Amino acid sequence: MARMATTELPVVVIGAGPVGLAAAAHLLERGLEPLVLEAGDQVGAAIRQWGHVRLFSPWEYDVDAAALRLLEAQGWESPDRDALPTGAELVESYLAPLAATPELAGRIRTGTRVLAVTREGVDKTRTVGRAGRPYVVRAVADGQVTDIPARAVLDASGTWGRSNPLGAAGLPAIGEDRVSAWLAGPLPDVLGADRERFAGKHTLVVGMGHSAANTLLALVQVREEESGTEITWAIRGRSPARLYGGGDADGLPARGLLGSTLRAAVSGGAIRLIREFTIGSLTAPADGDGRVAVAGTGRDGAAVSLQVDAVVAATGFRPDLEMLREVRLDLDPAVEAPARLAPLIDPNSHSCGTVPPHGAALLAHPDENFFVVGTKSYGRAPTFLLATGYEQVRSIAAALAGDTAAAERVELALPATGVCSTALGDREATESAEGAGQGSGRVGFATGSQHGWSGEEPAAGSCCGTAPRPVAASSPSCDG
């Protein structure tokens, strides 16, 4: 059987979120044919699930350059560049119009879930004759399975829907699989559609990222309006200092306010904080009605037992690698990100969010012309910036078009946030002392490492320079 000519085939992009659609726009500008496959019924399906959440970054940093050129050709007018959109606004005011442009509308297939990616005619073990073969993307739509040939594949499917478990050591807590009715998801709409679930109830929030903070503050508002509302916040680390805001020093005022307000709620008693909490088991009531029992250990191994009505697992996400089993990948064994990118984002060694802009060179795998991009490219690391994803796909499109110089050139400039960790260990010690009534004052926030572990040990120096300005469109899929 004659091999297909790869130059006649499309570049398959998996996922129609911000980075996937940006990839399609850049590919078109390079004269390449994109085909975007989206599992959801609409573009931006994952973001729609947290549409009630407001981003920290203004519109100025939420729109890709190539996508903007497509939109402006249709008379699109950008919202106020300084306004902070919600997830729903990002979809309705940007992604939906982008997908509807004449250039992209016919190149996006929604309701199409990718099952697997492989090389034509060979499995993962075959080396001889492997190079240059097209890819085959197996997908299902309306119950029909089809194989789609591709010259290249960009996996921009994200990590939403693949939450980290509540238990320790990367495993689910005992009984976690039997209490799904009590698990409220990572970003419930506490003040809107899900309010009844939390009003007058006891909620346990687990996690120390922006998702946890947003949920906690929404619960505080419900507590002020509905008697009997209880809030418990459990973190695995010694201190929440990394999530408490930098106030006026934070270049993203909304983020700084989030953290400082959270700190006030904890110190004021609206939120009960349990530090160094390890969940051992979750047990549903025998009759299936009532509160779930949460058992574990806290600081110094002290036993902790809770009875709660709902559990919000804001524990972060991990990539789904199952559909890539037949692709030769070069992934870091810890972070599950491309091996050359992993040292730049590993939360074990980074306590602030500065990651150099990067593209095709750092994202390449042993199977040529295959790339994981967007939040999924960061694996389990929680520091992804949307604007960095746009730079990834710009570089990759240039590489696929043969423009090596453009692929290697950095075309991204992010302004500084004004907040970066210089002595996170000292700040955590300060916060702990204040928790015991010793001292006062704000505790800074280490941009980009709100769930990292490098700050768990005292450090005298900064891990990096001034942090870039984060774009939080993908943050709910990066919290933990």
pLDDT tens digits along 140-179: 999 999 999 999 999 999 999 999 999 989 999 999 999 9
Strand partners, 147: 138
If asked whether residues 88 and 226 sit together in one domain, one would say: no
Q: Which domain holds residue 68?
A: 6-161+317-408
If asked whether residues 17 and 106 sit together in one domain, one would say: yes
Tell me, yes or no, whether 452 lies in a domain: no
CATH code of the domain covering residue 365: 3.50.50.60
Tell me, yes or no, whether 465 lies in a domain: no
Count the neighbouring beta carbons within 10 Å of the beta carbon of residue 312: 26
Predicted pLDDT at 256 = 56
Predicted pLDDT at 416 = 52
Q: Which of 259-263, 364-368, 468-472 has the lowest mean pLDDT?
A: 468-472
If asked whether residues 182 and 288 sit together in one domain, one would say: yes
User: Is the confidence at residue 469, as pLDDT, over 80?
Assistant: no
Predicted pLDDT at 348 = 74
Answer with the residue of higher pLDDT: 5 or 214: 214
If asked whether residues 373 and 390 sit together in one domain, one would say: yes
Tell me, yes or no, whether 54 lies in a domain: yes
Of these ranges, 37-51, 401-415, 444-458, the one predicted with the greatest mean pLDDT is: 37-51
Mean pLDDT confidence for 62-72: 96
Answer with the residue of higher pLDDT: 385 or 215: 215
* CB contact burial 414-453 (16+ within 10 A = b; e otherwise): beebbbbbbbbbbbbbbbbebbeeeeeebbbbbbbbbbbe
Triad 263, 268, 273: Cα angle to 5°: 60
If asked whether residues 396 and 324 sit together in one domain, one would say: yes
If asked whether residues 146 and 195 sit together in one domain, one would say: no
Tell me, yes or no, whether 286 lies in a domain: yes
Answer with the residue of higher pLDDT: 256 or 79: 79
Q: Is 203 exposed, middle or buried (0-12, 13-18, 19+ CB in 10 A)?
A: buried
Q: How far apart are CA 152 and CA 473, in angstroms?
A: 26
From 388, 408, 428, the end of a domain falls on 408
Predicted pLDDT at 162 = 92
Strand order in the sheet with 135-141: 113-119, 135-141, 144-150
If asked whether residues 263 and 234 sit together in one domain, one would say: yes
If asked whether residues 233 and 311 sit together in one domain, one would say: yes
* Cα four-point dihedral sign 144, 147, 149, 152: positive
Predicted confidence band of residue 47 (pLDDT cuts 50, 70, 90):
very high
Tell me, yes or no, whether 470 lies in a domain: no
Predicted pLDDT at 475 = 43
From 358, 392, 408, the end of a domain falls on 408
If asked whether residues 148 and 196 sit together in one domain, one would say: no
If asked whether residues 216 and 337 sit together in one domain, one would say: no
120 token code pair: 């034509």
Look over the chain and give the mean of its residue pLDDT values, rounded to a whole number.
84
* Percent of the chain with pLDDT strictly greater than 90: 68
* Percent of the chain with pLDDT strictly greater than 70: 81
DSSP alpha helix (H) spans, 6-143: 18-29, 45-48, 65-72, 87-90, 96-99, 102-105
Predicted confidence band of residue 207 (pLDDT cuts 50, 70, 90):
very high
Mean pLDDT confidence for 404-423: 64
87 contacts 473 by C-beta, under 8 angstroms:
yes
User: Is the confidence at residue 383, as pLDDT, over 90?
Assistant: no
Predicted pLDDT at 323 = 97
Q: Which residue type sits at 169?
A: A
User: Is the confidence at residue 54, as pLDDT, over 80?
Assistant: yes
Answer with the residue of higher pLDDT: 349 or 225: 225
Predicted pLDDT at 456 = 43
pLDDT in tens, 92-122: 999 999 999 999 999 999 999 999 999 999 9
pTM assigned to the model: 0.84
Q: How far apart are CA 341 and CA 125, in angstroms?
A: 25
Q: Which residue type sits at 393?
A: V
If asked whether residues 267 and 184 sit together in one domain, one would say: yes
User: Is the confidence at residue 455, as pLDDT, over 90?
Assistant: no
Tell me, yes or no, whether 442 lies in a domain: no
Predicted pLDDT at 471 = 37
Structural domain count of the chain? 2
Tell me, yes or no, whether 76 lies in a domain: yes
Tell me, yes or no, whether 168 lies in a domain: no
Cα-trace Rg, the chain: 23
From 295, 315, 335, the end of a domain falls on 315
Answer with the residue of higher pLDDT: 473 or 73: 73
User: Is the confidence at residue 433, as pLDDT, over 70?
Assistant: no
If asked whether residues 268 and 151 sit together in one domain, one would say: no
